Homo-oligomer: A and B are copies of this chain.
Amino acid sequence: MIIIPEQEVVRLVGRKDAFDAVENVFASMASREACNFPVIREALGHADALYGFKSGFDRKSLALGLKSGGYWPGNAANGLTNHQSTVFLFDADTGRVKAIVGGNYLTAMRTAAASAVSIAYLARKDARVLGIIGAGHQSAFQLRAAAEQRDFEKIVGWNRNPAHLDRLAAAAGEMGLAFEAVDLETLGALSDVIITITSSFAPILKATQLRPGTHLACMGTDTKGKQEVDTALVARAHVFTDELAQAVSIGECQHAVAAGELVEEDITELGAVINGTAEGRRSEDDITLFDGTGVGLQDLAVASRVLEKAQDAKTAIEVAF
């Protein structure tokens, strides 16, 4: 059994690793070679914690396992991350545990990779302005991964509390890009690509604020009730997702579907675009929307890549088990 602690994952997993792993597993999901199992998510009634598992199997790569994850709101006060994730990989040929991989940084990287893959496949090639809505911990990861997908010249950002936009300004600076804090009207008017990465329970961005040709990646909505954009925007867009079942139940699509403004049949899995079995962007004026809900197979794919790299670098801790 191989153990790869969090700090080693941080050292090993790069944006390209995460991008390639997520791109491949989205493709496997769409060709039905990979399957996510039902998600377990429970309120513990202890420490205000939410806890659960996302699991799955990719018959193509043989990635098998689960990510245990949870949210412990009291952790920060004790110097720990509130979100705690660990990935467990199993040998698909024998069922034995193969590796335990720290999952906190990995989760941030795989979530950023998902919107990056959506931009690579769906955004206009001439996109120059990237808009980011939300400025929490995850936002900088989304920005960095997205910025590599097109020749962006500028980043614009909006956050409910503008003070936190410093985080985006710093990440943009790292990438050698100008940053400007703007209002939502301006963000919609300027951006060729927009990423929403908030914990909002009410629409922030509206259809009227967007211009034709924009690609939007909605990455914050992963629970019943959460919402980042109005249903008119979803109804107007050409909609893609990582996993259809999650999009309509816990993703951004849940509201437009419930309102009868979007039908499941009009939602395309991004993996099908990657595989060339479904059409992506149809025209320069198409508004494309990627509903990124987050699936366990993304975690397993990136963790498998980390494991390979740790074995190549001979930095893995091996324990007889």
Q: What is the interface of chain A, defined by CB distance below 8 A to chain B? A: 1, 3, 5-6, 35, 37-38, 40, 42, 44-47, 49, 51-53, 55, 57, 59, 62, 64, 66, 68, 70-72, 74-75, 78, 80, 84, 86, 88, 90, 92-97, 100, 102, 317, 319-321
Contacts and interface: CB of A to CB of B under 8 A. Distances in A.
Contacts of A74: 93
B319 A46 contact: no
A63 B320 CA distance: 25
A102 B44 contact: no
A37 B40 contact: yes
A296 B321 CA distance: 21
Contacts of A320: 5
Contacts of A94: 47, 72, 75, 78, 80, 84
Instruction: Quickly give the copy total for this chain.
Output: 2
A64 B44 contact: yes
Contacts of A75: 94-95
Nearest to A6: B321
A5 B1 CA distance: 10
Contact of A57 (B46, B92, B96, B102): B46
Contact of A92 (B49, B59, B71, B317): B49
A291 B306 CA distance: 44
A64 B46 CA distance: 11
A51 B64 contact: yes
Given A40-B53, A45-B59, 20 more contacts: A1-B3, A5-B321, A37-B52, A40-B40, A44-B57, A47-B93, A47-B94, A51-B90, A51-B95, A53-B66, A68-B90, A68-B97, A71-B95, A75-B94, A75-B95, A80-B94, A80-B96, A100-B100, A317-B319, A319-B319
B40 A55 contact: yes
A114 B316 CA distance: 39
Contacts of A57: 42, 44-46, 51
Nearest to A84: B95
A47 B62 CA distance: 11
A3 B319 contact: yes
Contacts of A90: 51, 68, 70
A35 B45 CA distance: 11
